[in-house]
Structure 1
Amino acid sequence: MQHRPDPVALTGTLASFSVDVSCTHSGPYPDGADTVDVYVITSTAKSGVPGQVDYVERQIRASFSK
């Protein structure tokens, strides 16, 4: 299952960036007598036009289990 929040406009020096944030859930997985759910949060920020010298894109991903 994947969840994407509603878009929010950035202001100031971040106004030229678009940011996409998503959260993906998987599980539950067996872990001995317990079960574990895994969540992966991914954030991708972009600015400019792909192929142009001023284009920039960065992505960060974090995984959590509970």
Structure 2
Amino acid sequence: AAAPTVLLVEEGAEALIGRKLDEAALDRLAKVCAGACRPIDDKRGTIEFSRKVAGVLAGRAAQTAYARAGGK
């Protein structure tokens, strides 16, 4: 788990709104989301791994949303 409850990462949205969805924007989103999560170190993975996964999943979600909204 990335946190004990669902997180709304407003800075993550700000990293994308009004910008082209390019590698730089996705990198910024990943860093912001990774920094916002509060994972624990357990048998499912380390804190570092969980933060990395949170950033990757945020980027994938942004790309999927963009494609579904008619982007390429």
TM-score, normalized by the shorter chain, greater than 0.5: no
TM-score between the two structures when normalised by the length of structure 1: 0.33
Q: Who wins on radius of gyration, i.e. which is larger?
A: 1
- Greater percentage in strand: 1
Which of the pair is proportionally richer in helix? 2
Give the structure-2-normalised TM-score: 0.31
Tell which has more relative contact order, 1 or 2 (C-alpha 8 A, sep 6+).
2
